[in-house]
Amino acid sequence: AQSVTQLDSQVPVFEEAPVELRCNYSSSVSVYLFWYVQYPNQGLQLLLKYLSGSTLVKGINGFEAEFNKSQTSFHLRKPSVHISDTAEYFCAVSDYPYSGGYNKLIFGAGTRLAVHP
Amino acid sequence: ETGVTQSPTHLIKTRGQQVTLRCSSQSGHNTVSWYQQALGQGPQFIFQYYREEENGRGNFPPRFSGLQFPNYSSELNVNALELDDSALYLCASGSGGSGELFFGEGSRLTVL
């Protein structure tokens, strides 16, 4: 079974500062990894995904993440944040190719990013 | 292309009632999944439908049921509502292969 741990429940940061949101996962098989963002009272929007290939993945809004298989991590980074980045961020894992045909995402508990002026 | 749309956006029910939530999948997608997101938590997988059959289910009791229609729209039905069913219910569609899911805005259910 897979699991996801987001190591920080809240991350406060000043505008234009860099930020890293940490995510670790556990799985006995190869996985797909995702980061989603959720703005207040909205659904989930995909930021980026890792399926295979290059371990550095670039997404929307200037975010990127690095897949580290040996450390089972998939940390999200942004070099300079904006006030508009204030939101809840969710890391998710899927073992879709091995799951028997259905795509079940396992989500972490979320990290609240609060960007201050 | 149209995105994933859900209705209603908000609703209030009382304990013991039944509720039906609706979802229209993104064009070209052939799977639809439902997730429950309790306040302050990450979404939890309820089930997935493919070709109008449930082909995967999470740890939810049988009073959570669903339907997928030939046009890939979907319903989530919850019977005998309990207070703990209060949550945001998210519908997601996908086309397989990529493992990527596209989510709707959700239906916020409050059970009193």
Instruction: For residue A97, name the pLDDT band (cuts at 50, 70, 90).
Output: low
Parallel, antiparallel, or unpaired: how do β-strands A64-68 and A73-78 relate?
antiparallel
Q: Does B96 touch chain A (CB under 8 A)?
A: yes
How confident is the model at residue B94, as a pLDDT?
Answer: 87
Contact A48, A63 (CB under 8 A): yes
How confident is the model at residue A101, as a pLDDT?
Answer: 66
Name which of A43-47, A97-101, B2-6, B22-26 the model is least confident about.
A97-101
**Average confidence score pLDDT of chain A:** 92
Q: Does A7 touch chain B (CB under 8 A)?
A: no
Q: Which DSSP symbol is given to B101?
A: -
Residue in B4, B24, B45 to test binding to A, most A beta-carbons within 10 Å:
B45
Residue A12 CB neighbours (<10 A): 10
Chain B hits for A32, CB-CB cut-off 8 Å, are 99
- B8-43 per-position pLDDT tens digit: 999 999 999 999 999 998 888 888 999 999 998 999
- B40-54 per-position pLDDT tens digit: 899 999 999 988 899
Mean pLDDT of A73-101: 89
- Residue B1 pLDDT greater than 60, yes or no: no
- CA gap B38, A82 in Å, rounded: 28
Out of A51, A90, A100, name the one closest to residue B98 (CB).
A51
- Residue A29 pLDDT greater than 90, yes or no: no
